Amino acid sequence: MRIATFQHQGRRQVGLVDADGQHVTPLAVDDPTSGALCLIDRLVQGLPLPAASGQALPLAGVQLEAPIPRPRRNVWCVGRNYHAHARELRDTVFKDSAANVQAWPIVFTKVPECVVATGTDVRLPHTVSTQIDYEAELAVIIGRGGRNIARANAMSHVFGYTIVNDVTARDVQMRHQQWDLGKSFDTFCPMGPWIVTADELDGQRTRVQCFVNGDKRQDANTEDLIFDLPTLIETCSRGITLLPGDVIATGTPAGVGMGLNPPVWLRHGDVVRVQIDGIGAIENRFVDDPAPQGGAG
């Protein structure tokens, strides 16, 4: 199944994307406020899929939202998880951790409020950062929760997959010991276009690509992850109970703007497309942040 959250006729709905990829059939969920999260909770409890609540709608006629518009808590993210990406940033972001590549994953989080849909403008707040970068990533959506999940059972906890652009303010990321500040600016987590359930995609073998204004910048396969999906689930659940709907962004391949020589940062008008085989693509324009300094919005 491909589960989408969308706006139609002024209200949020949850539905299934049809096989043709051109239509979405709305479902009769009790409360669509949480988007696909309400469906994940329901299915994890063993309840049946709700019935359709109406005719299939053309996707072109609805406004897609992030499948989980506001995750229940921070988005888990993994840093330095492709060997080539570890190499391209070994003298900058990973300078102090290069020796630990084979030891433990780097795990940080993004606040839930920075999640936005495909098609939403991502704001470049130049008063705070002048080094904003893209990161194409496969994201795992947890189904059945659990604590101390063993690697051998980890994939049975995967509900499905979606796409995340882990947008990053490199200067802010670099100057703080922890990364969350530089990763969590408003609008810094484009997510979507929908969730593909685990029975329809092998997330351990799929191609991840990123294009900036049509130019390919990243192209890799999740087979090349340093820490594979079961290891990431095992790691994140050590002593912490994972919850249904938790999102784990699995790291980005080589080809980020910071890794170019000289580095290239995102500018007003740039369009970033992240594409993953078996899911689809998200595309977001980057625009100068119009909010005044000290303003409320």
Q: Which is nearer to Mg ion, 6 or 82 (CB)?
A: 82
What single-letter DSSP state applies at residue 223? G
Which residue of 65, 88, 133, 166 would you call a contact of Mg ion, by CB under 5 A? Answer: 166
Tell me the number of residues near Mg ion by CB under 5 A: 3
Task: Give the nearest distance from C-beta 81 to Mg ion in angstroms.
Answer: 8
Quote the tokens at residue 150: 């063993």
**Residue 215: which residues within 8 A CB-CB, separation 6 or more?**
none
Q: Which is nearer to Mg ion, 2 or 273 (CB)?
A: 273
Which residue of 133, 135, 270, 289 would you call a contact of Mg ion, by CB under 5 A? Answer: 135
Binding mask 224-263 vs Mg ion (x if CB under 5 A, - otherwise)?
----------------------------x-----------
Q: Closest Cα to residue 167, out of 87, 93, 256? A: 256
Q: Closest Cα to residue 164, out of 41, 252, 70, 36? A: 252
Q: Closest Cα to residue 253, out of 59, 36, 3, 78? A: 78
Which residue, judged by CB position, is nearest to Mg ion in the bound state?
Answer: 166
Q: Which is nearer to Mg ion, 187 or 252 (CB)?
A: 252
Task: Give the nearest distance from C-beta 183 to Mg ion in angstroms.
Answer: 7
What one-character-per-residue DSSP string does 57-90 give?
EEGGGSEEE-SSSS-SSPEEEEES-BHHHHHHTT
Q: Which is nearer to Mg ion, 5 or 250 (CB)?
A: 250
Task: Give the nearest distance from C-beta 262 to Mg ion in angstroms.
Answer: 21
Q: Which is nearer to Mg ion, 89 or 198 (CB)?
A: 89
Q: Closest Cα to residue 236, out of 168, 139, 166, 171? A: 139
Task: Give the nearest distance from C-beta 60 to Mg ion in angstroms.
Answer: 31
Quote the tokens at residue 46: 């063993």
Q: Which is nearer to Mg ion, 82 or 194 (CB)?
A: 82
Region from 55-63, 130-138, 222-230, 273-281 binding Mg ion, contact rule CB under 5 A? 130-138
Position of tokens 């593909």?
196
Region from 32-40, 42-50, 160-168, 223-231 binding Mg ion, contact rule CB under 5 A? 160-168
* Collapsed DSSP state (helix, strand, coil) of residue 38: helix
Region from 118-126, 135-143, 149-157, 279-287 binding Mg ion, contact rule CB under 5 A? 135-143
Task: Give the nearest distance from C-beta 145 to Mg ion in angstroms.
Answer: 23
Produce one character per residue of 75-101: b if its CB has 16 or more CB atoms within 10 Å, e if not. bbbbbbbbeebbebbeeebbeeeeeeb
**Chain contacts with Mg ion (rule: CB under 5 A):** 135, 166, 252
